[in-house]
Amino acid sequence: MSQSDDSDGDQGPSEVEPVDLPLNVVALEGIGRRDRYGPLLIVILVGSVGLVLMLVDFRLGTLVLAASAITALILRAVLPTRRAGLLVVRTRTIDLVTLSVLAASLVVLALITPVQ
């Protein structure tokens, strides 16, 4: 036996050191799959429709993709952190600012694209 082992031979549970996890991972600890993946799946489905529509009509597809970003923005703003699931990337403020810029950029892109 090494010197760090107990002298009586008891092999009890060893001490587990706390791991410094990011806040978004800690916030999702104990959350079910539906709550974890639900909001993100909604955004991915709307975004996928937008990407497919871009093949047919770029302007319409871009607007639907912008709607996907707006949906993510609304879900992240309304849902508490534990229910927002995998939409949580950073703090709520940073997520909302990033999604706002993305959505606004996609809307501007759709509006400045010439109609063919």
Q: What is the pLDDT of residues 5-55, one digit of tens each?
A: 545 555 555 554 454 545 555 555 666 666 677 888 999 999 999 999 999
For residues 106 and 110, what is the distance between their CA atoms, to the nearest angstrom? 6
pLDDT number for residue 19: 47
pLDDT number for residue 44: 94
pLDDT number for residue 29: 62
pLDDT (average), residues 75-83: 82
- Asked if 44 contacts 88 with a C-beta cutoff of 8 angstroms, the reply is no
pLDDT (average), residues 81-85: 76
pLDDT number for residue 79: 82
pLDDT number for residue 54: 93
Nearest residue to 67 (alpha-carbon basis) of 92, 115, 99: 99
pLDDT (average), residues 62-81: 91
- Helices 58-78 and 92-112: crossing angle in degrees, nearest 10, is 160
- Asked if 75 contacts 21 with a C-beta cutoff of 8 angstroms, the reply is no
